[in-house]
Amino acid sequence: MMKKLFIGGVLLLSTAFAASAFAAQPEAPADGIKMNRMSKVVIFNHSTHKDIKCTDCHHPVDGKEDFRSCATAGCHDNFDKKDKSVNSLYQAVHKAKDAKFKTCVACHVATAGDDKEKKKELAGCAKSKCHP
């Protein structure tokens, strides 16, 4: 009897731990997010990126996990295509080399590899999956 109670207690505790660990992470929102801060709108779907770790895109800020949108004030809130600072939304999305975190284009280029058609499809400025 005591043993059963003990095991029950341990199970309860570990469930509580698991629940609190998950509580910090929000649900990924529904598909069809319009990224429309710049001239070309991109529709982003979490479902097509579900095998990628959330934190590969939602990178930590000041060492803390952060799920706010890219263009949150104080983050990538400069919408001038020519801006090259860390605040540049264009760079956060397109920078293909030496980016601190995985950008859309850097990963899409890597995903396409040597496949030229796939590269056009995933990293093209027009007639692509990003910019139809």
Q: Which stretch binds ligand HEC (CB under 6 A): 6-14, 16-24, 77-85, 99-107?
A: 99-107
- How many of the other CB atoms lie within 10 Å of CB of 124? 14
- How many of the other CB atoms lie within 10 Å of CB of 71? 17
Binding of ligand HEC by 108 (CB under 6 A): yes
Binding of ligand HEC by 49 (CB under 6 A): yes
Binding of ligand HEC by 33 (CB under 6 A): yes
Binding of ligand HEC by 57 (CB under 6 A): yes
Integer angstrom CA distances of residue 81 from 13, 33, 47, 91: 51, 21, 28, 8
Report the candidate in 36, 35, 33, 43 with the shortest Cα–Cα distance to residue 130.
43
Structure tokens at 65: 């996990």
- Report in angstroms how near the CB of residue 23 gets to ligand HEC at its nearest: 12
Structure tokens at 2: 């005591």
- Report in angstroms how near the CB of residue 85 gets to ligand HEC at its nearest: 17
- Sign of the torsion angle spanned by Cα atoms 14, 55, 43, 88: positive
Q: Is the Cβ of residue 8 or residue 132 nearer to ligand HEC in the bound state? A: 132
Residues at the interface with ligand HEC (CB under 6 A): 25-26, 28-29, 33, 35, 42, 44-46, 48-49, 52, 54, 56-58, 67-71, 93, 102, 104, 107-108, 111, 122, 129-130
